[in-house]
Amino acid sequence: MVKSACYCVAYEQFETGIIPTLSNLKGADLSNSGIPGKTIVLGTGNFGTCLANHLAQKGHSVTIWGRSQEIVDSINTLHRNPKYLEHIALDHRLNATLKLEPESLKAASFLVLAIPTQSLRSVMEPIKDLISPSCIIVCAVKGIENDTYRFPIQIVEDVLGPASRDKIVVLSGPSFAIEVAEKQPTAVSVACRNAETNRATQALFHTSLFRVYTTDDPIGLEVAGALKNVIAIASGTLAGLGFQQNARAALLTRGLAEIARVGAALGANPITFMGLGGVGDLFLTCTSEKSRNYTVGYRLGKGESLDEVLRTLGSVAEGVSTSKAAYELCEKLKVDSPIIHVVYSVLYGGDTVANGLHRLLNREMKAEISNQ
């Protein structure tokens, strides 16, 4: 009787709108605009588009920069991105441009970076002297630069100088761009060494349906965000080969252990890997066909060549380039990383998927928790 009474009360609240439905939330005013000021988003891909649209919907003055005339024109006139998130109607207040005007850069309170890691340095160099010292740089980029083994915040600091350190923030967490754009409830983390910068970035992005949590461990967020894409390729490969949930659970758990070992070697807080940007993002990326990296692995597991997969993928899978830098970084740090090693050997070393799997499954017996 008690359970029945509780159900009746809950149902009445649901019917009268006391408990909101998801559709009601999507239609609600969730602006919570917080901080005024101009924001520039670099990158018109999936994540750049969804973040720029999110901020425009909050009422911020937002300009998104891209290299495609077609995309820029379409955003400005049709309020659609014809290549990424094409079915999403973008906010009419969102402005797109091909050229970053000096006056706009100098006036920007926030600069959001949503471009591939391997292009980040070349994009930042020409504009470094136009960025205000007070501008907060938000890295929504996940990866490791080849040859230098630098993470995005380190690349930005290299370009802008050490004085920029307290103005560079990492934004990461389990957040497929399409679900953010569709106003599905999402939670992410932002990380900066400076608490005031962290709070300002949190206020910029936070809404009821895009919850933002703060942490003071940017390197931990970056390590997790980069390496989960490599593990996702392995997870997709297992699925493509026909393996089921036991294998996936084992891979994700051991993959998280590898990520944590790399993080520890770089000075990250181990607790970070238990949070949104760690296990949260790893789980999302490694279990969904919406993940580009998972899709790459799945198609490799089905027998396609890497060249064919990348030619027809339609967007960048950061894990492919990251796997090379990650493998070399692990070798440099002397960190045991068998999954990363196998992904690298399949993508770059001429190894077969079957042989890579065989090597993983036939490693020597070990303790689960150790310093190795």
Contact 53, 45 (CB under 8 A): no
| Run of H or E residues at 42 | strand 38-42
Report how far residue 340's alpha carbon sits from residue 72's, in angstroms, rounded to the nearest whole number.
37
Q: How crowded is residue 18: how many other Cβ atoms within 10 Å of its Cβ?
A: 10
168 touches 131 (CB < 8 A): no
d(CA 244, CA 212): 33
CA angle at residue 314 from 112 to 89, to 5 degrees? 60
- The C-alpha atoms of residue 192 and residue 283 are separated, in whole angstroms, by 24
Look up residue 349 and give its DSSP letter: S
Q: Helices 338-348 and 353-361 sit at what angle, rounded to 10 degrees?
A: 160
**86/198 Cα distance (integer angstroms):** 32
Label the pairing between strands 210-215 and 38-42: unpaired
Q: What dihedral do alpha carbons 283, 285, 290, 291 form, nearest 10°?
A: -170
Give the catalytic positions in this structure: 228
DSSP code at position 86? T
- The dihedral formed by the CA atoms of 50, 53, 58 and 59, expressed in degrees to the nearest 10: 160
C-alpha 241 chain-centroid distance:
26
Instruction: List the structure tokens of 323.
Output: 């796997």
Which among 267, 237, 259 has a CA at the least distance from the CA of 336?
A: 259
SS3 label, residue 192: coil
